[in-house]
Amino acid sequence: MRLAWRGTELRLLIPLVILVPLGFAVTHIAVSNALDPGPLGLAIAYVALVLAAHLALVMLGHRGDQLLLPLAATIGGVGLVMLNRLPQDLTGMTLFGVQIGMAGTQLAWFALGLAAMVAIAVFFRDDGALRHYKYTWAAAGAVLLVITFLFGAEVNGARLWLHFGPVGFQPGEAIKIVLVVFIAGYLAENRALLSDALRRIGPVKIPPLPYLLPMLAMFAIVMGIVVISKDLGTALLFYGIFLVMLFVATGRRSYVLVGLLLFLAGSFAAYQVFAHVRVRVDNWINPWADPTGSGYQTVQAIYAFGRGGLFGEGLGQGLPLISGHLPIPAIQTDFIFTAIAEELGLVGAFALLALMAALVFRGLRIAILARDDFSSLLAVGLIASIGLQTLIIVAGNAKLIPLTGITFPFVSYGGSSLLASFVVLGLLLSISHRSAMETAAPMAEPSSGQAS
């Protein structure tokens, strides 16, 4: 295989060499209150891993997008700085009798994720296996969902964990990707039918009933997740991804309208029927009704945002302990954005969100440049999953919408989530690689490092 020089990627990865160790050092100095940068092993290992992934792509002649990896690595780097700053005994793993702290565990997952990304980006050259067996994939996803329901462990009122010995795994993350593959396959095949035959009922155009069925089926699946696994965040995410892909495939606003109406009706019904939904909504409307009980997490998060202000409390200087504990439960996963907003302030949080926006923009660009409907829709769905997930959790942290527990991609602590995010990145890289190889000469040569 020929080498493919990835100059832009390398140039954008260089700042990480300073950024991540600097973050580690600042945190340690601030916490220990002595001029001691502390152990930088994890930070250096992280940068080395990312550079190794870059090198692997170069060696294997990959011509895919050059901004995806640096963007994800920068976002992940900020996340790792924050995870390293939090108390390491919040969670962690014992492997072969050795206790690894939280940041160490996360780093191990980063290694696995980057390896998966490179493998998928390089060896996944033909999307037939995804496209042709879409119903098989959908069935596999459904089976996974059922298994989780039957054998899953319940944590915080949601049933979304499967345990294999010491390693826990969230099937929802795998189902998310499988779902995007299925919807992309279905829509690529039927988009003409879905976008043409519309019937006019009153002021809105409605597609004929047979074509509405997949949408209703999707709605049923989502409601099933809400009822069975009580996982509101995932349900909201799946439904959002579906609507985005449907709109992109057909260009029909009426589908989105119908989808949103169904969503409103479903939410209302869920609020009426399920206690766990009602608790979330009530906490959103007024967390101060029960500030030490069910509203505690949200109230503490709002205080944390307030303490952070514009420039933040400083790395390692925020998050005061309340009777020996961090004030916000699940700060390393669902509320990692709150922790970043407190210590780096609005400026830091904004930078993180801007990086995420750039990543989403890049994903949409890959979708536009993709050579066929399936690849294009796949790219849209995958990047929508990352973008919507960020929106839902950030808005939940900031009390813009009811809090639903999902992870901040590349930032939150959690192996399944991190692995899934890197699989998404790998698939996007492979799609952009194929369109770069198939397009005529001017596009096949991505801008070199010096060009910009």
Partner 1 sequence: MTGEALRILILVAQFAFVGLLYLVLFAFARSLLHDLRSAERTQEAAREGIGRLTVLESPEDEPPVGRSIALGPINSIGRNVNSTIFVEDDFASATHAMLTFRGRAWFIEDQGSTNGTFVNGHRIDRPVALSYGDEVSVGRVRMRLEH
Among 71-79, 89-97, 120-128, 327-335, the segment contacting partner 1 (CB under 8 A): 71-79
Q: Tell me how far, at minimum, the Cβ of 196 lies from partner 1, in Å.
A: 16
> In whole angstroms, how close is the CB of 44 to partner 1 at the nearest point?
16
Q: How far is the CB of 435 from partner 1 (least distance, A)?
A: 12
Q: By CB under 8 A, what part of segment 272-331 binds partner 1? A: 311-312, 314-315, 317
Q: Is there binding between residue 25 and partner 1 (CB under 8 A)?
A: yes
Q: Does 191 bind partner 1 (CB under 8 A)?
A: no
Which 3-state string (H, E, C) describes the chain? CCCCCCHHHHHHHHHHHHHHHHHHHHHHHHHHCCCCCCCCHHHHHHHHHHHHHHHHHHHCCCCCCCCHHHHHHHHHHHHHHHHHHCCCCCCCEEECCEEECHHHHHHHHHHHHHHHHHHHHHHCCCCHHHHCCHHHHHHHHHHHHHHHHHHCEEECCEEEEEEECCEEECHHHHHHHHHHHHHHHHHHHHHHHHHHCCEEECCEEECCHHHHHHHHHHHHHHHHHHHHCCCHHHHHHHHHHHHHHHHHHHCCHHHHHHHHHHHHHHHHHHHHHCHHHHHHHHHHHCHHHCCCCCCHHHHHHHHHHHHHCCCCCCCCCCCCCECCECCCCCCCCCCHHHHHHHHHHHHHHHHHHHHHHHHHHHHHHHHHHCCCHHHHHHHHHHHHHHHHHHHHHHHHHCCCCCCCCCCCCCCCCCHHHHHHHHHHHHHHHHHHHHHHHHCCHHHHCCCCCCCC
Contact between 365 and partner 1 per CB under 8 A: yes
Binding mask 77-96 for partner 1 (x = CB under 8 A): -x------------------
70 or 259, CB closer to partner 1?
Answer: 70
Residues near partner 1 (CB under 8 A), total? 41
Residue ranges in 230-259 that form contacts with partner 1 under rule CB under 8 A: none
Residue 409 contacts partner 1 per CB under 8 A: no
| Range 332-351, binding partner 1 (CB under 8 A) | 344, 347-348, 351
Residue from the set 272, 292, 450, 452 that interacts with partner 1 by CB under 8 A: 452
Nearer to partner 1 among residue 154 and residue 445 (C-beta): 445
Task: Give the range of 7-15, 46-54, 154-162, 380-388 binding partner 1 by CB under 8 A.
Answer: 7-15
Q: Exactly one of 1, 2, 35, 210 binds partner 1 (CB under 8 A); which one? A: 35
Contact call for residue 448 and partner 1 (CB under 8 A): no
Q: Does 23 bind partner 1 (CB under 8 A)?
A: yes
Interface with partner 1 (CB under 8 A), residue from 108, 355, 364, 437: 355
List interacting residues with partner 1 (CB under 8 A). 8, 11-12, 15-16, 18-19, 22-23, 25-26, 29-30, 33-35, 67, 70-71, 74, 78, 311-312, 314-315, 317, 344, 347-348, 351, 354-355, 358, 361-362, 365, 442-443, 447, 451-452
